[in-house]
Structure 1
Amino acid sequence: MVTANYIFIKLPFVQPFKYLYNEPGNLLLLILIITTSISPWVLDWLFKSWYSQKPLNKNTLNQYSDEVVKVLRCYCQKQGYGFTQLAILHVTAPIAFTYGNSPATAHIVVSQSLLEQLEVDEIAAIYAIQLAHIRCWDMAVMSLVLLVTIPISKLYQQISAWENSISLSWLRNIVSLIGSFVYAVWLTLNATTFQLSRLRIYYSDHFACNITGNPNGLIRGILKIAIGIVMLKNKGIQVGN
């Protein structure tokens, strides 16, 4: 904030903003609390509007893996809360993730291709990983980052589309520069969770092995997901955000 004002001072006809010299801690904390509180419902709307997310009922999931339904029901009963909310995305990439700010608002989301490409025990292991993220609450942090970065990612995609449709080279260069800046903001915000993304894998893998008793199924499931995503990228297909 001070750096921004320093730049404003050097620019002609621009005055620094006194507010940028104030301590931003309390305001940022308030914004974080509000954003985290509303993140499950806003993400619901974003995924439904932009990625055609649909609810996934237990009966449908049971057709792909009866084992995963047993794992989910046993874990939820043991923890003393209702059956975890499930959702599905009809995308080509085999993906799975969890969002929410508490176990009560948590959503486990998988793609249709994941259910079709993985075996019964592998699906159960992947869902067990998501339960670990709910148990240790790291999904609340990841939900906050998703809420902030998804709109920025969509904006970058739109700018890229505009750039490709512009015929004037000078205007295309300006749009390209704006797109690069937006991408840098997106990358910087995502970088704040790189360390957490790595550390939480150790816990979630250990938890999934314990709850399913099937480390081989977990390994096979993760490998199939990685191979599926790499194959799509090699074909030039956009995997997601």
Structure 2
Amino acid sequence: MRRLRGVIAVLNHARTFMLLAAMTALFLGIGYLIGGSGGIVIAFMIAAAMNVFAYWNSDKVVLRMYGAREVDARSAPELVGLVRQLALRAGLPMPRVYIMDNDQPNAFATGRNPQNAAVAATTGLLRSLTQEEIAGVMAHELAHVRNRDTLTMTITATIAGAIGMLANFAFFFGAAGDNRNNPLGIVGALLLMIVGPMAAALVQFAISRTREYEADKLGAEICGQPLWLASALQRLEQLAGRVDNHAAERNPATAHMFIVNPLHGGSMDNLFSTHPATANRIRRLRELAGSGTVAGKRGPWG
């Protein structure tokens, strides 16, 4: 069974790598359509610069975006103590812990690597969930940290944004250029402006959904109780849709970071969803609990 789980994990990582490669190829392809071989070089330089900036600054940007405040053992002893115990079980350095003043129950993780990670929970989550359910949610976020999903999703979001930027540039380039210097033309540029970002979004969403399933599974193993996370997801599904997350609505590109979709009307498990259907996630967690492979491994908080 352990060997099978290892094979599945390798296949999922391979799928993520192939999707990232596809997104990068799409970005370079748009650069080629705009400017030929020189366009590829320019596109590569833009992508490299954006990813360097995102690598070093994305966590600070997103935490500031959501007005998150850092807490410690004095200001939030229960949450910080819980995260400390879970990080120990996960074999991770203690991440920075943040609280967002937001009534929508939700949470996310960020940071370029486990040594520079941060986890953030909303005040709505801390008020609405039991201690066991909060443990399940925090374990899920630490699973993202251990799998380095925070870096992967930062890169995909950055490349997706760059593709949108290039596609818009292609439209203006196509509108202003002539057929001798511009292989796209106005019609081709218009199609590229529409299809390019849509294709990038599809790849980004596919990567996000794959990583959510993996984080659910590893998070269940970290906290030792898959049903804690299943219960948390069920409650979050019911509660999050009733409360607006205005910061997320203003910045929809960050929606994939949260444990459940913070945007309204996007919970279906389809091509355009940033998250798998919650019912599917709960079903998998209940199957994992029924298998008995991780159940009963309670932590000091249980």
Residues 1:130 and 1:4: Cα distance change in structure 2 (over 3 Å): closer
Q: What corresponds to 2:228 in structure 1? A: 217
Structure 1 pair 204–3 and aligned structure 2 pair: CA distance change class (3 A): closer
Q: 1:146 to 1:114 in 2, by over 3 A?
A: farther
Distance in structure 2 (CA, Å) of the matches to 1:51 and 1:195: 25
- Distance in 2 (alpha carbons) for counterparts of 1:72 and 1:239: 28
> Percent identity between the aligned chains?
18
Q: Hey, what's the Cα distance between the residues in 1 that align with 2:131 and 2:42?
A: 47
CA contact (8 A) 1:37 1:101 kept: no
Q: Give the conservation status (yes or no) of the 8 Å contact 1:84–1:107.
A: yes
Partner of 1:162: none
Which amino acid is 1:57 matched to? D
Cα distance change, pair 113–29 in 1 and its aligned pair in 2 (3 A): same
Give the alignment of 1:42-61 within 5 angstroms.
Answer: 42-47=57-62, 49-61=64-76
Q: Find the partner of 1:122 among 118, 125, 133.
A: 133
1:40 touches 1:101 (CA, 8 Å); kept in 2? yes
Aligned partners of 2:29, 2:156: CA distance in 1, in Å?
Answer: 25
Aligned match for 1:141, one of 126, 146, 152: 152
TM-score normalised to structure 1 length: 0.64
Alignment of 1:10-159 (within 5 A): 20-22=35-37, 24-39=39-54, 41-47=56-62, 49-64=64-79, 66-75=81-90, 78-79=91-92, 82-146=93-157
* Cα RMSD (Å): 3.8
2:185 alignment counterpart: none
Q: 1:93 to 1:57 in 2, by over 3 A?
A: same
When residues 88 and 39 of structure 1 are mapped into structure 2, their CA distance, relative to the original with a 3 A threshold, is: farther
Q: Which amino acid aligns with 2:96?
A: Q
Shift in Å at residue 2 of structure 1? 8.7
For the structure 1 residues 146 and 55, does the alpha-carbon distance in structure 2 shift closer, same or farther, using more than 3 Å as the test? farther
Q: Provide the C-alpha distance between the structure 2 equivalents of 1:74 and 1:98, rounded to a whole number of angstroms.
A: 17
Structure-to-structure mapping, 1:198-213, within 5 angstroms: 198-213=209-224
CA-CA distance at 1:141 after TM superposition: 2.1
Q: 1:200 to 1:231 in 2, by over 3 A?
A: same
Whether the 8 Å contact between 1:65 and 1:124 is mirrored in structure 2 is no
Task: Tell me the SS of whatever aligns to 2:242.
Answer: helix
Aligned length in residues: 195
1:228 Cα deviation after fit: 1.6
Task: Give the counterpart letter for 2:36 in structure 1.
Answer: Y
Deviation at 1:146, TM superposition (A): 4.9
Tell me if 1:228 matches 2:239: yes
Point out the more displaced range, 55-64 or 221-230: 55-64
* TM-score normalised according to structure 2 size: 0.53
1:207 CA displacement = 1.0
Q: Return the letter of the residue paired with 2:113.
A: S
Q: Do the aligned partners of 2:31 and 2:43 also contact (CA within 8 Å) in 1?
A: no
Provide the rounded CA distance (Å) in 2 between the counterparts of 1:56 and 1:40: 23
Give 5+ residue unaligned stretches, structure 2.
Answer: 1-27, 162-192, 253-302
